[in-house]
Amino acid sequence: MNIVEPFVRQALADPGRPALVIGDATVLYGQLLVYVRRLAARLQALGVQPGDRVAVSTGASGGNVALALALAHIGAVSVALEGGVQQYAALVERLGVNYIVHSEAQDKVIAAPSLKGQFRFDWLLETAPEKPQVQISEVAPDAVWRIVLSSGTTGLPKGVALGHRSTLLNTHLTRGLFPVDPSDRLLLGMHANLGFSTHYWMRCLHVGACVTLMMQEQPQEALQLLYNTPITLMATTPALAMGIAVECQKPDSPYSQPPAGLKRLNVGGGKLSPQLRDTLRQRVCANMYVNYGATETSGAAIADPQTQDRHPESAGRLVPWAEIQAVDEQGQPLPPGREGRLRFRSPTMATGYVGVDAEQAAAFRDGWFYSNDMGAVTAHGYLVLAGRTNDVINIMGNKIDPERLEKILMQDAAILDCVLVDIPAELGQTMLAAVVVAPNGFDQDALLARCAAVNPSFQPRFVVKADVIPRNSSGKVMRAAVRQKLIEAAAAQGGQQQPPTLH
């Protein structure tokens, strides 16, 4: 079955129901279906064939959604890019892109010999037939319909291939955990081209619900929508969730009480401190779920409010259709509670990487996806994370897992968010520095003592207060960016004698 078919059935059954809301504009299901068919027919006329890969970055979330559906309609593959197309020039050849649809002023935005065509989105719409004649393409169950990008926190993003069958299963199975019905309105607090985002808006369009797409993805915009429009569900990343929490806690904030209509809040893409989690439950939505997963795996574990209260150390309980195992260096499963490298297997995970070398491609093997996450699965099915294999800090021969210390720092009630990095010190050595988000201030001595109590060798040299910790659009901490900001700030202040100031 083609991923677009459930949406088409909804649009034909109830064309007058709202499908998308963008700013002041509402697009009905019938209207969205017309857009999709017109775009599908125009792309087909321009030579786009089943299996072709079309990079999509229109600058408009509604346009990105319509194009993804249109390309699936004709059996082509949308390659989801965020932001300007030029920044992805190095990926075009590697991902095997055949065409580009963009919102730039010029027709051609990337010089690549493999490209067959580059089209402006507004031109596609202007030249699309008014009464399109286009059939839904029949596809193999495991055919790819979308390529999304991994977080790229440790290098160039990788293309992650989503299949028709696995995505359809994901939209169906997750409705058991997160019910969505036609009366619901989802606020999508992230870019529509993210893998995490794609599953949410597709799930809504398959059941006849409405999706509100943000214009700027800023905390004030999100809060205004939550309080002034009939939003019932919200899905977002830790970055926007952090901004919302800070706004809610400001003196005389009009958003100090939860919005009356919000039934459920889902946050995924990175860790939440206990204080951020509690603030969101108190000020935004008591029924808050924290999702654990990856672009490659889709959702794998869920921390509902009860799990957050009873098992706060865990990332959540495994979803019923996913297997997660901790394995040793030989790839052998470890007993419950033993830490190892985490591997995943589920019918909803990606089909593999696109355009990577053999070593990277081997992360998908024997039906499993081998992640860089470390952790353990308890006998009762709770996942406890223990850092990442590729995120270790080396201080004078001592290897430190920064996430372990970050958990210790975030036990302090004043800390909403934090990140630990290594920066240059005297005599060519390195030292630890902690960057924290603490709107109401913090006790540095108490934080350092908390770390020293675990291991004196791992005590940060100092703690720096910041307004926000840089995260990418999917919510992952940009540790390298934090490190560079600290180094630049220290250099501007003349050295490491005093903690640098971040803004």
- Say whether 3 sits in a helix, a strand or coil: coil
Predicted pLDDT at 474 = 65
Which of 9-18, 85-94, 172-181 shows the lowest per-residue confidence on average (mean pLDDT)?
85-94
- 471 or 161: whose pLDDT is higher? 161
- 25 or 471: whose pLDDT is higher? 25
Predicted pLDDT at 426 = 62
- 266 or 454: whose pLDDT is higher? 266
- 90 or 321: whose pLDDT is higher? 321
Please say whether the beta carbons of 493 and 486 come within 8 A. no
Cα–Cα dist 358/337, whole Å: 32
Exposure b/e, 204-224, CB count within 10 A at least 16 = b? bbbbbbbbbbbeebebebbbe
- 193 or 305: whose pLDDT is higher? 305
> Mean pLDDT in the chain?
88
Cα–Cα dist 191/269, whole Å: 13
pLDDT at 237 over 60: yes
Question: Does residue 430 fall inside a structural domain?
Answer: yes
- Say whether 353 sits in a helix, a strand or coil: strand
Half-sphere exposure of 486 (CA within 13 A, CB side): 31
Chain centre distance of CA 254: 28
For the chain, count helices (H), then strands (E).
Answer: 15, 26
Which position has the token pair 């499963």?
333
Question: Does residue 482 fall inside a structural domain?
Answer: yes
Question: Does residue 213 fall inside a structural domain?
Answer: no
Q: Could you report the per-residue pLDDT of 365-410, keeping only the tens digit for each?
A: 999 999 988 899 999 999 998 877 767 776 655 667 787 778 888 8
Predicted pLDDT at 30 = 97
Cα–Cα dist 167/347, whole Å: 9
| Domain count across the chain | 1
Q: Residue 7: which residues within 8 A CB-CB, separation 6 or more?
A: 33, 36, 69, 202, 205, 206
Percentage of residues of the chain with pLDDT beyond 70: 92
Question: Does residue 438 fall inside a structural domain?
Answer: yes
Question: Does residue 470 fall inside a structural domain?
Answer: yes
Q: Could you report the per-residue pLDDT of 409-462, keeping only the tens digit for each?
A: 888 888 888 888 888 766 556 778 888 888 888 888 888 888 877 766 667 878
* Across 265-273, average pLDDT: 87
Q: In terms of C-beta density within 10 A (0-12 exposed, 13-18 middle, 19 or more buried), how is residue 309 classed?
A: exposed
Q: In terms of C-beta density within 10 A (0-12 exposed, 13-18 middle, 19 or more buried), how is residue 178 classed?
A: middle
End-to-end Cα, the chain, rounded Å: 50
Q: Could you report the per-residue pLDDT of 479-495, keeping only the tens digit for each?
A: 788 888 887 776 666 55
* Across 241-246, average pLDDT: 90
pLDDT at 138 over 60: yes
Predicted pLDDT at 1 = 86
Bridge partners (DSSP) of residue 344 are: 324, 369
Question: Does residue 79 fall inside a structural domain?
Answer: no
Q: What is the DSSP string of 36-87?
A: HHHHHHHHHHTT--TT-EEEEE-S-HHHHHHHHHHHHHTT-EEEE--S-SGG
Q: Could you report the per-residue pLDDT of 449-468, keeping only the tens digit for each?
A: 888 777 666 678 788 888 88
DSSP 392: -
Half-sphere exposure of 326 (CA within 13 A, CB side): 23
* Structural domain span for residue 408: 393-492
**What is the enclosing helix (H) or strand (E) of 323?**
strand 323-327
Question: Does residue 298 fall inside a structural domain?
Answer: no
Question: Maximum distance among all alpha carbons in the chain?
Answer: 72
Predicted pLDDT at 155 = 59
Grade residue 196 by pLDDT with cuts at 50, 70 and 90.
Answer: confident
Question: Does residue 487 fall inside a structural domain?
Answer: yes
* 166 token code pair: 């696995």
Chain centre distance of CA 107: 30
Domain harbouring 402, CATH code: 3.30.300.30
DSSP 453: H
Q: Could you report the per-residue pLDDT of 323-367, keeping only the tens digit for each?
A: 999 999 999 999 999 999 999 999 999 999 998 999 999 999 999
pLDDT at 469 over 60: yes
Predicted pLDDT at 152 = 62
What's the pTM value of the predicted model, to 2 decimals? Answer: 0.84
Amino acid present at 227: Y
* 347 token code pair: 């019918």
- Say whether 213 sits in a helix, a strand or coil: strand
